[in-house]
Amino acid sequence: MSDPHSGSTAVAGAAAGSEEPSSAATSVIDPDADGGATSLGGSRSRLERIRARAQARERARAAAREAHAHIRAGGVRRRRTPEELKNVVERGQALLHGTSLPGGPDTQREASAEAVIAWAVREFGPWLAVASSMQDTVLAHLVSKQLPWVDVLFGDTGYHFAETIGTRDAAELSLDVNIVDVRPGQTVAEQDATHGPRLYERDPEKCCALRKVAPMRQALRSYEAWATGLRRGETSSRRNAPLITWDEKNQVVKVNPLAGWTDDQVDEYADAHGLVVNPLLGDGYPSIGCAPCTQRVEVGADKRSGRWAGRDKVECGLHG
């Protein structure tokens, strides 16, 4: 990102409902400024309006959460079978073009990220979830513009950087999304008691399976499709990532709206919309996972080389 810290600041203001909190805070600190008691009263009034807006947002989020849960519980229709969903994938590929051609995607014929999301929202509605590692909030923002209060699944492994948790909290405050914390069956302490301490050092595959893959697979059973931020330019293993595919492991449709986006496109979108990004992106961490398994990356090195450094492992297992 060109300046991830400025992006976070912009969202902090938006989350509060504009830049009013700054002026309010100034007046409270200095009651004699701009009219003393009159200014203090005005500041209190502004703070009340900010509080009212925050409460209204939370009511809207709660109402949408209840409505979406009712739909997925069968209140409108049942969850479609795997065969039915595979047919949906085929129709989507034919409609959006270039997503399953021999030799890999035909990027010249692909639909835009917005068009892919529009298709997914029309096809799935609240049966669609967004998965986010909270490296940035670009995909969550894109989807929420077309499906307000969409469920955003955050894999809370118990090992995240403080900055990642902060990004998660800022996203909840600033975006029209419903953050769903997807947690493992055991706390870190319970896992240590069962499997021994620092499982991530001794058997990272098992640690990822227990704390990331299994919990997300369980969570996805409530949906028909998930949207991910997978991009072809991230690693060689992702270079042929399609826009739409059938996720056999999780038995859901997998939608990758940003598959064809470059790093610059992600940065430009985040900057243009004042979106929060994880501050670690500007501190030598171009790919962010759990704190014990993520290191800074040297300039020019593969950006995922800081994940599970010194091992052949390059994926946690969620994407293959």
Find the radius of gyration of the CA atoms of the chain.
21
The backbone torsions φ and ψ at residue 316, rounded to the nearest 5 degrees and listed phi first, read -80, -20
> How far, in Å, are 8, 154, 231, 265, 274 from residue 262 at the CA level?
21, 23, 8, 5, 18
CA distance 270 to 194: 41
69, part of any domain: no
* Residue 153 structural domain: 78-293
Q: Is 85 helix (H, G, I), strand (E, B) or coil?
A: helix
CA distance 255 to 203: 30
Query: What pLDDT shows up at residue 164?
Result: 97
Sheet holding 128-132, edge to edge: 177-182, 150-155, 128-132, 225-227, 252-255, 244-247
- Residue 150: which of 139, 165, 162 has the closest Cα? 139
Within 8 A by CB and 6+ apart from 225, the residues are 85, 120, 123, 124, 127, 128, 129, 252, 253, 254, 255
For residue 94 the two structure tokens come to 């034919």
Beta carbons of 216 and 319 less than 8 angstroms apart: no
6, part of any domain: no
Known binding residues for [4Fe-4S] cluster? 207-208, 290, 293
Beta carbons of 314 and 304 less than 8 angstroms apart: yes
For residue 80 the two structure tokens come to 């479609």
Known binding residues? 207-208, 290, 293
CATH number of the domain residue 158 falls in: 3.40.50.620
The backbone torsions φ and ψ at residue 299, rounded to the nearest 5 degrees and listed phi first, read -60, 130
For residue 291 the two structure tokens come to 């704190």
53, part of any domain: no
148, part of any domain: yes
164, part of any domain: yes
95, part of any domain: yes
Query: What pLDDT shows up at residue 6?
Result: 41
In the DSSP assignment, the letter for residue 79 is P
Measured between alpha carbons, how far apart are the two ends of the chain, in Å?
A: 27
In tens digits, the chain (320 residues) has pLDDT values of: 444 334 443 333 333 333 333 333 333 334 344 455 557 777 888 899 989 998 999 999 999 999 999 999 988 899 999 999 999 999 999 888 654 444 555 555 789 999 999 999 999 999 999 999 999 999 999 999 999 999 999 999 999 999 999 999 999 999 999 999 999 999 999 999 999 999 999 999 999 999 999 999 999 999 999 999 999 877 677 788 899 999 999 999 999 999 999 999 999 999 999 999 999 999 988 889 999 999 888 776 666 666 656 666 565 557 66
Query: What pLDDT shows up at residue 313?
Result: 56
How many folded domains does the chain comprise? 1
For residue 197 the two structure tokens come to 């301490």
Beta carbons of 220 and 66 less than 8 angstroms apart: no
Query: What pLDDT shows up at residue 238?
Result: 76
Question: Looking at the annotation, which residues are catalytic?
Answer: 316
CA distance 77 to 124: 11
